[in-house]
Amino acid sequence: MKIFNILLTFLVLVGFLMKPVFAQTASEPTTMEEMMAIIHTDDDRGSPEQNSTVIEPQETIDTIESEEEPKQQHESQPESQSIKPILQEETILQTEEPKKVEESTIVVPSVDTQPMSNCQQKALCVANLLSQQMLSPDFAQTHANPYTANAPWLVVGAQSQSMKYYDAWGRLVKTYPVSTAKNGVGEVENTYQTPRGHHKICEKIGEGVESRTIFSRRQATQWKYSEQLHKENPKKDWILTRIMWLCGQEEGKNKGYNQYGQVVDSYKRYIYIHGAGDHAPFGVAPSSLGCVRMVSEDVIELFNESNLGMDVLIKEFE
């Protein structure tokens, strides 16, 4: 209400000052009396300090300034002591307004939220997948087949008395306990040693035969292995359940003859992966006459998973 009264007083003063321009017939004494009456009326509303303190809403001040500025550009007001408080108040408002605008102006940095294309999304997914695989223990322990690309293979360790089955990706599928030759490793015929190096499965014998079936000269018999039978024939090298016949792939080492003319051919030496009796120390100690012995249940599983031509690497220190 006080702001409205101030605005009304200001408009009355402006109208009074502009009155001589449009109505020159008015007499000077009458005009001064009216002006003094209006000025005294304005003084009764309060001091300049009070008028400046009661103007609180910023929006109302902005409205007054926007209405006053056009009128001030087209009029010339005589300086008088009575209207100086109003002019001083306008000067204060005009000087303070830029500061308030500067304080309220907050520069917000723009953020690039442009969506990625399908190509970028796919590339990001592939990068994440590769990084996860490279950091995973399975990826660090892969052993790809060095002889046949993208093919499963076997690694027999004479030292660890184990056989590791790797899939086509080189990931370890299973580790089987085995028992190699009690005479150690070697390739020469009649040494009864397990040959080293690269081999392949050349023949598979015994498909569909019952577990613990005894083989003689690679032929399944009607007899089955038992502990009693082993006690009666303790020195017998029992060949049971399945046979996977190995042939060497390294000429002069485990295939054909060596530089001294000795037979080093694993196939001619009848080197097998085969099942054996429960008496064999699988995974603990070597005990065979050159072959790789396995538990009957394990050799059946491997027989079903393997194929002709599967790579087999026999290592001394593995």
pTM score above 0.85: no
Angle subtended at Cα 29 by Cα 24 and Cα 33, rounded to the nearest 5 degrees: 110
Antiparallel, parallel or unpaired: β 153-157 and 311-315: parallel
What are the DSSP calls for 97-157, one per residue?
A: HHHHHHHH---PPP---PPPPHHHHHHHHHHHHHHHHHHSHHHHT----SSSTT--EEEEE
Calpha distance 229→244 (Å, rounded): 24
- Is 40 exposed, middle or buried, given 0-12, 13-18 or 19+ CB atoms closer than 10 A? exposed
Ordered domains of the chain (ranges, CATH):
2-104 (no CATH), 138-315 (2.40.440.10)
Strand pairing report for 311-315 and 197-205: antiparallel
What is the sign of the dihedral through the CA atoms of 186, 192, 194 and 196?
A: positive
Q: Which two tokens stand for residue 208?
A: 């569909």
| Burial class of 215 by CB neighbour count within 10 A (0 to 12, 13 to 18, 19+) | buried
Q: At what angle do helices 2-22 and 28-43 cross, to 10 degrees?
A: 170
Other CB atoms closer than 10 Å to residue 79's CB: what's the count?
Answer: 7
| Per-residue tens of pLDDT for the chain, all 318 residues | 556 566 666 676 656 555 554 444 444 445 555 555 544 444 444 444 444 444 444 444 444 344 444 444 444 444 444 444 444 554 444 544 444 444 445 555 555 556 777 777 777 776 776 666 555 555 558 999 999 999 999 999 999 999 999 999 999 999 999 999 999 999 999 999 999 999 999 999 999 999 999 999 999 999 999 999 999 999 899 999 999 999 999 999 999 999 999 999 999 999 999 999 999 999 999 999 999 999 999 999 999 999 999 999 999 998
